[in-house]
Amino acid sequence: MYEQVSHALLNDILDEFDHRITRQDLRHFYTRLGANFYAIHSLFYHLYGHREDFRQQTIQLTERLARAYIERPAALKQIDMAREEDHNWFLSQEWVGMALYSDGFAGNLQGLTQRLPYLQELGVNLVHVMPILRCPLGASDGGYAVSDFRDIDPRAGNVEDVVTLAEAMRKRGMLLTLDVVVNHTSNEHEWAQRARAGDAEYQKFYYTFPNRDVPDMFEETLPEIFPETAPGNFTWDEAMERWVMTVFNSYQWDLNYSNPAVFIEMLDIILFWANQGADVVRLDAVAFLWKKIGTTSQNEREAHLILQLMKDCCQVVAPGVLFIAEAIVAPSEIIKYFGEDAIIAKECEIAYNATFMALLWDAVATRNAKLLNQGVRNLPSKLDRATWLNYLRCHDDIGLGFDDADIRACDYDPYSHRRFLVDWFTGVFAGSPGRGRPFGVNPRTGDARISGALASLAGLETALESGDTESIDRSVNLILTLHGMILAFGGIPLIWYGDELGTLNDNSFLDDVNKAGDNRWIHRPRIDWNRAERRREPGTVEQRLFNGLKRLIAVRKSTPAFADFNNRELLDVPNPHLFAFLRTHPTMQTDSVLVVANFDLQPQYLDLKDLGNRGLFRFGQVKDLATGESPALLNTRLVIPPLRFYWLTDQRPGAVL
């Protein structure tokens, strides 16, 4: 594609705008459109250039951008400009996130607005509000089956409530993250309804087929996401008399991005929520956006082009808005959702660090950090201006998506090791205190994932039942240690609501027909606010966890070495129970932090001499930022108690790590 072609087209489009769009001050819009148009045009051409209506579609796309820009509130435009000036703003250590269901956390959106002080008390300043858009009344995959992308589920509130929430958060310096479920709609969405009524235009919004010929070809290579509850990837629709592609549940119809109308509609929806005040948009299931016969239809190149195009368009209208990629795929694939061969993110600025999450759980079960070290060593380095979302639990199951080669490098067999992990966390393995449930078990492939609340997976439920204080202490320490890792690793930590209080499994989902078949609901709690009050009673589990976490969050925020500037170095330590890494301050070496965790039930030793000739802690004066205490050193040997961790700095004046 020649730049001239794109320039000429842009001139034509702008001429037309002069006739049709009569609003003042499009100056910034024009600047940004000019800067991004070549990329937008090239990507759009790559995807849709073969179509006769390509030119009309391009004009349509550009016009939607202009309209979204005109509708963008002045206050948000100012934020855009401030963030353009300070483009590394989201890499700061000051951001700490929590993901929550507004109903489980606070009843509805108004309740959530009232509970913001609780989040602030903890130190959370980024909130991912789980899906709140209109969805079927019955099963809706926790809101991930959307029936109307521009309306709020009446059970949660209305659009006005979102705007109020966004404004209240902005006043408190908090960021709002909302979902846009880009891969599919519910079968109750208007597009699906029209398709079912026989409207051919809307049938083209989805993948529909009159018979099994094409579906059968797809099935040869498509995996199953929910093998127990939604086997296969196609559903027969009686009204339409056609098969429709439904990769997730049968009521979630996959959108067909080979149709530019789908792209334009979904982009418009992203911009709509950006204009309602979302600072961050979480793009759901992005790995699945492009389907191709003969492949798994995940991580296809076109899926990346679609995301790049979405980013470039968003850059024109709402450059202050960030994208999160939810792509729970292999480590080497996840990294591509930042965009390849770039410095700044060309697709999503933020991606779920599913690899680190699963590796931490591996360390919990094995009580050693062998695979954790191996996996983190092989985690591809990310772009400079992109960051991880580091988490322990979320609304989904834990998938054991490590690299098989890494598992083998630790002398485990991939199949039996994964089997062991599922057995461990579901309490099948003798001696395990885990209380999780197997999820997504596929007898055909042997795959299985894990559901369960963090506290129940970490042994707290079993410990509380036994009343054994030592076991309770152990679980509390483990829960804080795991959080100590995601807070220090580099990236934005994302706490799952309830974990700050040690919330246990909730089995009430079994009484609801719309949830009973999906045990991910076991870890999507309703917060018991009476119990939350115990965070003020010294010695309770709630208080130890809440206060412990609150302190760690405060320390993180005041520790510049924890900002994410690719300033992490994994340390090779001979003791397999330890996970150790160094966070260097971007400019002040003296303020570097040594992070070390012991996953074993016995105290373990780290010989500071083993850390190489860095002049580390030469005079034996170390301070743990996490507790404010100075841990004991036996000569150069540091003792790390069972299931504990340190964030160590050297106290010597002018010390260099």
Active-site amino acid positions: 284, 326
Radius of gyration over alpha carbons of the chain, in Å?
25
- Segment (H or E) for 457: helix 454-457
Instruction: Give strand pairing partners of 594.
Output: 582, 648
For residue 626, list its beta bridge partners. Answer: none
Give me the least distance between CB of 403 and ligand GLC, in Å please.
16
Closest CA to 290 of 301, 280, 282: 301
Class of residue 604 by CB neighbours under 10 A (exposed 0-12, middle 13-18, buried 19+): buried
CB of 262 to ligand GLC, least distance (A): 16
Report d(CA 311, CA 320) in Å as an integer: 11
Which tokens belong to 451? 């559901």
Instruction: Return d(Cα 71, Cα 503) in angstroms, integer.
Output: 42
How far apart are alpha carbons 583 and 599 in whole angstroms? 20
From the CB of 227, what's the least distance to ligand GLC, in Å?
11
Q: Residue 130 or residue 318: which is nearer to ligand GLC going by CB?
A: 130
Q: How far is the CB of 339 from ligand GLC (least distance, A)?
A: 19
Find, among 530, 529, 508, 528, the residue nearest to 519 by Cα.
508
Choose between 100 and 582: whose C-beta lies nearer to ligand GLC. Answer: 100
Measured distance CA(391)–CA(97) in Å, rounded: 9
Strands (E), 527-644: 568-570, 578-583, 593-598, 604-607, 622-624, 633-634, 637-640
Q: Distances from the Cα of 422 to the Cαs of 264, 358, 365, 452, in angstroms? A: 42, 12, 10, 11
Q: Which is nearer to ligand GLC, 93 or 298 (CB)?
A: 298
Nearest approach, Cβ of residue 518 and ligand GLC (Å): 9
**How many residues are recorded in the chain?**
657
- Can you give the binding site for ligand GLC, defined by CB under 6 A? 141-142, 144, 181, 225, 248, 284-285, 326, 328, 395-397, 399
Find how far residue 510's CA is from the centre of its chain: 27
Nearer to ligand GLC, 161 or 396 (CB): 396
Joined together, the tokens standing for residue 486 give 């995601």
Helix (H, G, I), strand (E, B) or coil at 300: coil
**Amino acid code (one letter) for 113:** T
Cβ nearer to ligand GLC, comparing 94 with 326: 326
Closer Cβ to ligand GLC, 32 or 395, answer by number: 395
Query: Pseudo-torsion of CA 151, 102, 489, 396, nearest 10°?
Result: -80
Q: Shortest distance, CB of residue 322 to ligand GLC, whole angstroms?
A: 18
Q: How far is the CB of 224 from ligand GLC (least distance, A)?
A: 10
Instruction: Take residue 115 and report the two structure tokens written for it.
Output: 């509970």
Q: Given the complex with ligand GLC, which of 78 and 445 has the nearer CB atom? A: 445
Question: What's the count of helices (H) and strands (E) in the chain, helices before strands?
Answer: 22, 25
What 3-state class would DSSP assign to 125?
coil
Beta strands in 386-461 (DSSP E): 387-391, 437-442, 447-451
CA gap 571, 611 in Å, rounded: 7
Amino acid in position 202: Y
Q: Which is nearer to ligand GLC, 375 or 560 (CB)?
A: 375
Residue with tokens 């090791």: 417
Nearer to ligand GLC, 143 or 548 (CB): 143
Least separation in angstroms between residue 193's CB and ligand GLC is 19
CB atoms near residue 116 (< 10 Å): 18
The distance of closest approach from Cβ of residue 579 to ligand GLC in the complex, given in angstroms and rounded to an integer, is 25
The residue among 279 and 284 lying less far from ligand GLC, judged by its C-beta, is 284
How far is 337 from 491, CA to CA, in rounded Å?
Answer: 15
Minimum distance of ligand GLC from residue 389's CB (angstroms): 12
